[in-house]
Chain A
Amino acid sequence: QKEVEQNSGPLSVPEGAIASLNCTYSDRGSQSFFWYRQYSGKSPELIMFIYSNGDKEDGRFTAQLNKASQYVSLLIRDSQPSDSATYLCAVKAGSARQLTFGSGTQLTVLP
């Protein structure tokens, strides 16, 4: 079992819809959770992080964390074609000194 799992997609949503990206992790001691966006052929960029159970909102992005169920989600409201990218989930386990990345979910927002 991979430590951090994401559905590779591709996930397609129409413009204006809510895109929901999910990530599950295996280490119950994980403390910190991050979402990176990566456009095709470009480098990743950090867009969200969350440490506590519940929701964290930043503009059109909402990160949701449920430690009991060991999943973290990223919601993108009012999706735009410019949101089309691969979204990488990364998790820092409690005892680890480094992040473990999922393999990413490719999102396509259709005009």
Chain B
Amino acid sequence: DAGITQSPRYKITETGRQVTLMCHQTWSHSYMFWYRQDLGHGLRLIYYSAAADITDKGEVPDGYVVSRSKTENFPLTLESATRSQTSVYFCASSDNGNHQPQHFGDGTRLSIL
């Protein structure tokens, strides 16, 4: 089915570990986004990508790394996880140039102990 898929849906890890969250979309949308959602903060943009091999920082990029070698994939890596990165992470995509996420994945609930 066409759509945007995130994996894993749930992840528990320890501080200092490297964690990669996967995001795959089947629409060939140009724009992809990574957000984190924490209570009281709404959605905050971590990184976004306008096309393959083009990425840019969002509001809260520290501690995260992204890559986009193919249009359909946009993985997010926490290089050395910290407790403050415990959150729900959403990947999103868009086919317009307005930097507005149109379609969201189901999210990854990440807990860092």
Contacts and interface: CB of A to CB of B under 8 A. Distances in A.
Contacts of B102: 46
Nearest to A6: B42
Interface residues of B, number: 20
A90 B42 CA distance: 10
Interface in A57-111: 88, 90, 92, 97-104
A42 B6 CA distance: 13
A4 B40 CA distance: 12
A103 B40 contact: yes
Given A88-B43, A98-B58, A101-B43, A43 B90 contact: yes
B106 A98 contact: no
B43 to A, nearest CB: 4
Interface residues of A, number: 20
Contacts, number: 46
A4 B59 CA distance: 14
Interface stretch (B17-25, B72-80, B93-101): B93-101
B48 A44 contact: no
Nearest to B38: A103
Interface string A14-35: 0000000000000000001010
A44 B43 contact: yes
Contact of A42 (B40, B58, B99, B106): B106
Contacts of B48: 98
Given A42-B106, A44-B104, A45-B104, A103 B41 contact: yes
12 contacts: A42-B106, A43-B90, A43-B107, A88-B42, A98-B45, A98-B48, A98-B58, A98-B59, A99-B100, A102-B42, A103-B40, A103-B42
Interface of B: 40-45, 48, 56, 58-59, 90, 98-102, 104-107
